Amino acid sequence: MSHHSSPAMKLLAAPFLLMLAGLVVWPLATVLIDSFSKSGAWSLGNYAEILMSAYYGQSFVNSLLISVLTTAIGMTFGFLIAVGLRYRKGGTRRIAMALANIGANLAGVPLAMALVFLLGLNGTLTLLLKASGLIDTFNVYSLTGLIIAYCYFQIALAVLLIIPVLDAIEAELEEAASLIGVGTTRFWLRVGLPVVGRQMIAITTLLFANAMGTYATTLALTSTSVNVVTIRISELVSGDVFSDPNLANAIAMALLLVLVVPIVISQLLLKGDKR
């Protein structure tokens, strides 16, 4: 035990701690401190403005709506696809993993472009659906469009993360269940999911944070027309007319708070279920 806490061992951790300080603590501290500065004076004015403004309030509601929805969709489909791939060997599995890998990393401009080609006003799929009479009109440059776009990488990311987690459940367990007459659905509800519950909660949290923080895809697809948090922050930082970096800092802190809440809740949940 003693060598774990010896001064020499502590020294070895120094580069990491230094990096942590430089890349996380320092910027975060700057953002936090600056968020309390309004027109050159210390105040809670930035936070008050966020709370009072229906505009910023709506950006949080929209971001939360998109994130919760796409996390739920991502986890559901990700889980089903991962379970499906369990029963496939070699080729199919490799191809699906490659596609999921591409999907998880195909965000931002390329994803927006792809969606415009498919679902834009004159997109292939839009025209096809219109011609078949299934839809009257579809606007991809909207909240719905964003949800579809986010789903691309959310589902792909969920598949990538869930597959290795499910590998921890031995095939023998499923076989044992099938021999005693327990079907696939019941097996996953009563055994599979409870066994990997902790990891699933962790992945859900990650997906939620991933969606809350998405910026490039949003900007590329809908520019500033859909009111979400990341777009608001960027506008305040780089906008020519409404530039107010300190208000942006305050919004960033609020966003951080929104991300920390589910993490804390999930940690508390897991603690209660310590196995």
Partner 1 sequence: MTHLDLSAIGMRYGDNVILDGIDLSVAQGEMHVLLGPSGCGKTTLLRSIAGLVQPDRGAIHLAGRAIEKLHPKDRGIGMVFQHYALFPNMTVRQNLAFGLEQRRLARRVIDDKIDTVLEIVSLQDKADARPRQLSGGQKQRVALARALVLEPSLLLLDEPLSALDAQIRKRLRDELKRIQRQTGLTSILVTHDQDEALSLGDRISVMNKSRIAQTASGPEIFYRPADLFVAKFIGNANILTSDEFGRLIGREFDRTAVIHPHMFKIGKTSSDNSVFDISARVVEAGPAGNVVRYVMRASGIIFNVEAQTAMNAAHLVAGTEAIVTIDPSNAHFL
The verdict on 271 binding partner 1 (CB under 8 A) reads: no
Told to check if 190 binds partner 1 by CB under 8 A, we report yes
Buried b vs exposed e over 153-191: b needs ≥16 C-beta within 10 Å?
A: bbbbbbbbbbbebbeebeeeebeebeeeeeeeeebbeeb
Least distance CB 125 / partner 1 (angstroms): 41
Which of 180, 185, 242, 257 is in the footprint of partner 1 by CB under 8 A? 180
In DSSP terms, which residues pair with 41 in a beta bridge?
38
Instruction: Report how far apart, in Å, the C-alpha atoms of 220 and of each of 55, 58, 215, 233, 251 are.
Output: 21, 20, 9, 16, 21
Residue 241 is encoded by which pair of tokens? 């007319």
175 binds partner 1 (CB under 8 A): yes
Q: What are the b/e assignments for 115-128, b being 16+ CB within 10 Å?
A: bbeebbeebeebee
Nearest to 217, CA basis, from 139, 111, 142: 111
By CB under 8 A, tell whether 223 contacts partner 1.
no
25: tokens are 């603590």
Closest distance to partner 1 from the beta carbon of 197 (Å): 8
127 to 166: interface string for partner 1, x by CB under 8 A: ----------------------------------------
Smaller CB distance to partner 1: residue 243 or 273? 273
Interface with partner 1: number of residues (CB under 8 A): 17
For partner 1, the closer CB: 119 or 177? 177
Token pair, residue 209, equals 């944070």
Q: Which is nearer to partner 1, 1 or 179 (CB)?
A: 179
Question: By the 8 A CB rule, do 168 and 196 touch?
Answer: yes
CB burial of 62-80 (b: ≥16 within 10 Å; e: otherwise) equals bbbebbebbbebbbebbbe
Q: In whole angstroms, how close is the CB of 85 to partner 1 at the nearest point?
A: 19
CB nearer to partner 1: pick between 23 and 173: 173
- Which CB, 99 or 273, lies closer to partner 1? 273
Q: How far is the CB of 174 from partner 1 (least distance, A)?
A: 9
- Segment interacting with partner 1, rule: CB under 8 A, options 49-57, 186-194, 231-239, 243-251: 186-194
Which among 100, 126, 107 has a CA at the least distance from the CA of 218?
Answer: 107
The single residue among 176, 265, 268, 269 that binds partner 1, judged by CB under 8 A, is 176
Contacts of 79 (CB under 8 A, 6+ apart): 158, 162, 200
Please report how close the Cβ of residue 186 comes to partner 1 at its closest, in angstroms. Answer: 8
**Residue 274 beta carbon to partner 1: minimum distance, rounded to whole angstroms:** 12
Site for partner 1, rule CB under 8 A: 170, 172-173, 175-182, 186, 190-191, 194-195, 275
